[in-house]
Structure 1
Amino acid sequence: MTDDWLATPAAEVPLSGELMGKMDGAIRNGDFGNITSVVVAYRGRIAFERYFAGDAGTLRNTRSATKTVTSILVGLALAAGELPDLNARVLPLLPQKPHLYQEPRKNEITFADLMTMSSVLECDDWNSFSSGNEERMYLREDWLQFALDLPIRGTPPWETPPAQRPYGRAFSYCTAGVYMLGRALAGAVRMPLEEFAAKNLFAPLGIEQYRWQHSPTGQIQTGGGLELRSRDLLKLAQLYANGGEWGGRRLLPSSWVQASIEPRVQFEGSDGRSFEYGYLWWLQSFAVNGKRVATYHMAGAGGNIVLVAPALDLAAVITSENFRRSDAHALTRALLSDHILPAVNLLE
């Protein structure tokens, strides 16, 4: 597969024109807030592409979708033999510096722990009282020091201990942990991670335009803020839909792709629904025409999503700037469940 797939006229790839047309009109009418782009690939070909702010060349900040890009980079490091496995301990690969709360359990934190948001660090972006809440990190110059200084989290008596939960892990959404993960990965590959990503991921996919967010000390923020074009975000989804291949070249082992999207931790959302999470990939199924359609995706604040629906042979990107709306992700899910996924399902 080459970049020619992006040049395919959308009319040549079948999707339900009625559903997609209604979606286009509803977005332009403001029914879904500030959606900025929708790009869909069906059977590896562009099937729908619309821009509601900017154009195909606009870089999109999809916020925490960057975390999943970091997962992809870990897979590339494993494939290159730069990292033995996900049981590798993180601290030996980091710059050695004194830190608060010296505790043996910190020394045992692994790549797998950080990639499943289940390390022993007291870090929860969804809890404003948490020591590790990312807003506290941004007030510090040295983000790695911030992460290293975090205390060990406890389990109050009214909560189930991690070992007794599904998959034996307790989920706690932690941007500081993914930043630490990126710094450890840079140590494993022995080069700046920005350089490693450019050489091993972006160049093979033909991604030439991108912009990383950086920490005050100059390292890339692997926990959020990477800006990519909508089409290039779709390339990342299609790479996984292809089982790790691109343009006839294998970039990632198919075994890594599968391992990444297997459930590794389970948790309950604020709405009481149960969710599962892989290696920095969100796992979710949608009700489509009376059936459940399994998907895996990257997600970022404001309702941004980069999704693969294997059973439908579909990959989709929705970029959104609904940053101050509590229903941002619900709006994106509605676009998927009511328009994009049924538009394929009707063809089956």
Structure 2
Amino acid sequence: MHWDLSRFTELEGKLADKSFKGITSIVVVQGDKLVYEAYFNGGNPDQLNDIRSASKSVTALLVGAAIDRGLIPKVQTPIYGYFSDKQPWQHPDPRKQAITLEDLLTMSSQWECDDENQFSGGNEERMYVTEDWLQFALDLPIKGYAPWMSKPKDSPYGRAFSYCTAGAFVAGAVVERATHKPLADFAAEALEHPLGITQVKWNRSPLGIGMGGGGTRYRSRDLAKLGQLALDGGRWQGQQVISPSWIQAMLTPRAQAREDADYGYLWWRFRFPLKGVEQPTWAMGGNGGNYVFVVPSQKLVAVITSTAYNHSYAHPQSQGIFRDYILKAMP
């Protein structure tokens, strides 16, 4: 059985005639074999792609690495204990003290924080215009539930999902506090160097805290390695880089993000049809339509990088390429 490479030729036609816009690279790996790799619109193999929020999924891997090393006791560890130097924080509440790392990783903390609501006090755009992002997040009030909103007890998996970049940023800050290292340094040591990833760029907040919430830059092939690591239970070329128990915990649905998507620990779970059968597909996803798709049942990893930032077509376009071209080209 062979891949139907004519699908990729057809896709290249769509990219050439601008039916699809802003796509810079597509890399497809099955098993450990490279099936397809191509660059478009100025992309190239050494391009450090700004994958925006897809880097949140890397933060989840780093939390696992810190837990593996015993530097963070467990994923249910309350977070406020790491930041006693930031006291007093606004809106003190016992429910805030109870917020755990797991709440941040599942986007279901009780903070009033929703990036998809411009009126939300915790919206990421409000954080970016302040100097102290950590204080901004720790000061957030407890959210209320309007009558039309789902409360945790009435939600699938018992968690009410609300997309919150500030939470992912704080998760990265916990890793820094626990490891006593800048996030980029711990990432290099615990994750990137074992995978042979040498070219990477991490962002930092105005006060110098590693940005675990987005904007890390990787080469396309290195993104594929991150997908492979998730696919292979934390192993890379025979070496256990992240524990299998963490990968399994990370890739377990823990909240319903949308009608068509669940959420693990900062990883999305979609369902895409393959030959008429829905396949659970885990994904790192970010603004602009940047994705690393992982289909465990098919041992498939597909990377799509794109610069269609802040365009409404960006996510549907990348998901469509994956669904209608990559999956349909499969043997």
Pairwise TM-score range, normalised by the shorter structure: over 0.9
Amino acid at match of 2:304: I
Contact 2:260 2:270 in 1 (8 A): no
Question: What is the CA distance between 1:54 and its match in structure 2?
Answer: 2.6
Hey, what's the Cα distance between the residues in 1 that align with 2:176 and 2:229? 23
Question: What is the CA distance between 1:15 and its match in structure 2?
Answer: 2.3
Asked if residue 337 in structure 1 is aligned to residue 323 in structure 2, the reply is yes
Counterpart in 1 of 2:75?
86
Question: What is the CA distance between 1:14 and its match in structure 2?
Answer: 4.6
Counterpart in 2 of 1:201?
191
Counterpart in 2 of 1:41?
29
**Matched residue count:** 329
Q: Scaled by the length of structure 1, what TM-score is found? A: 0.92
Give the secondary-structure state (helix, strand or coil) at the position aligned to 1:323.
coil
Hey, what's the Cα distance between the residues in 2 that align with 1:323 and 1:159? 29
Counterpart in 1 of 2:105?
115
Asked if residue 233 in structure 1 is aligned to residue 228 in structure 2, the reply is no
Alignment match of 2:265 (pick from 251, 261, 279): 279
Hey, what's the Cα distance between the residues in 2 that align with 1:198 and 1:236? 13
Hey, what's the Cα distance between the residues in 1 that align with 2:169 and 2:266? 13
Contact 1:70 1:222 in 2 (8 A): yes
Contact 2:63 2:171 in 1 (8 A): no
* Equivalence map 1:21-60=2 (5 Å): 21-52=9-40, 53-60=42-49
Gaps of 5+ in 2: none
Give the secondary-structure state (helix, strand or coil) at the position aligned to 2:52.
coil
Distance 1:128 1:105, change over 3 A: same
Contact 1:93 1:185 in 2 (8 A): no
Counterpart in 1 of 2:4?
16
Give the secondary-structure state (helix, strand or coil) at the position aligned to 1:154.
coil
Alignment match of 1:290 (pick from 271, 276, 288): 276
Distance 1:324 1:267, change over 3 A: closer
Give the secondary-structure state (helix, strand or coil) at the position aligned to 1:39.
strand
Amino acid at match of 2:16: R
Hey, what's the Cα distance between the residues in 2 that align with 1:267 and 1:225? 21
Distance 1:158 1:58, change over 3 A: closer
Question: What is the CA distance between 1:324 and its match in structure 2?
Answer: 3.3
Amino acid at match of 1:20: F
User: C-alpha deviations, 1:176-214, integer Å up to 9, x for none?
Assistant: 111111111211222222211111111101111011111
Contact 1:14 1:47 in 2 (8 A): no
Question: What is the CA distance between 1:164 and its match in structure 2?
Answer: 2.1
Question: What is the CA distance between 1:95 and its match in structure 2?
Answer: 5.1
User: C-alpha deviations, 1:266-294, integer Å up to 9, x for none?
Assistant: 143xxxx3421001110001123322122
User: C-alpha deviations, 1:106-156, integer Å up to 9, x for none?
Assistant: 111101000000001000000000000000111101100110111110112
* Equivalence map 1:260-275=2 (5 Å): 260-268=250-258, 273-275=259-261
Asked if residue 320 in structure 1 is aligned to residue 295 in structure 2, the reply is no
Amino acid at match of 2:201: R
Counterpart in 2 of 1:4?
none
Give the secondary-structure state (helix, strand or coil) at the position aligned to 2:191.
helix
Hey, what's the Cα distance between the residues in 2 that align with 1:287 and 1:185? 37
Hey, what's the Cα distance between the residues in 2 that align with 1:84 and 1:247? 28
Hey, what's the Cα distance between the residues in 1 that align with 2:201 and 2:2? 33
Amino acid at match of 1:300: G
Identity, in percent, stands at 45
Q: Scaled by the length of structure 2, what TM-score is found? A: 0.96
Gaps of 5+ in 1: 1-12
Hey, what's the Cα distance between the residues in 2 that align with 1:244 and 1:159? 37
User: C-alpha deviations, 1:151-186, integer Å up to 9, x for none?
Assistant: 110112333321121111100100011111111121
Hey, what's the Cα distance between the residues in 2 that align with 1:324 and 1:184? 29
Give the secondary-structure state (helix, strand or coil) at the position aligned to 1:58.
coil
Hey, what's the Cα distance between the residues in 2 that align with 1:95 and 1:323? 37
Hey, what's the Cα distance between the residues in 1 that align with 2:84 and 2:215? 23
Give the secondary-structure state (helix, strand or coil) at the position aligned to 1:94.
helix
Amino acid at match of 2:24: T
Question: What is the CA distance between 1:28 and its match in structure 2?
Answer: 2.2
Structure 1 consecutive aligned stretches of length 4 or more whose deviation exceeds 6 Å: none
Amino acid at match of 1:284: F
Alignment match of 1:300 (pick from 286, 304, 315): 286
Hey, what's the Cα distance between the residues in 1 that align with 2:173 and 2:63? 11
Amino acid at match of 1:319: T
Contact 2:261 2:271 in 1 (8 A): no
Give the secondary-structure state (helix, strand or coil) at the position aligned to 2:26.
strand
User: C-alpha deviations, 1:311-335, integer Å up to 9, x for none?
Assistant: 1111010001111321211111110
* Equivalence map 1:205-224=2 (5 Å): 205-224=195-214
Give the secondary-structure state (helix, strand or coil) at the position aligned to 2:72.
coil
Hey, what's the Cα distance between the residues in 2 that align with 1:218 and 1:252? 26
Contact 1:230 1:319 in 2 (8 A): yes
Counterpart in 1 of 2:173?
183
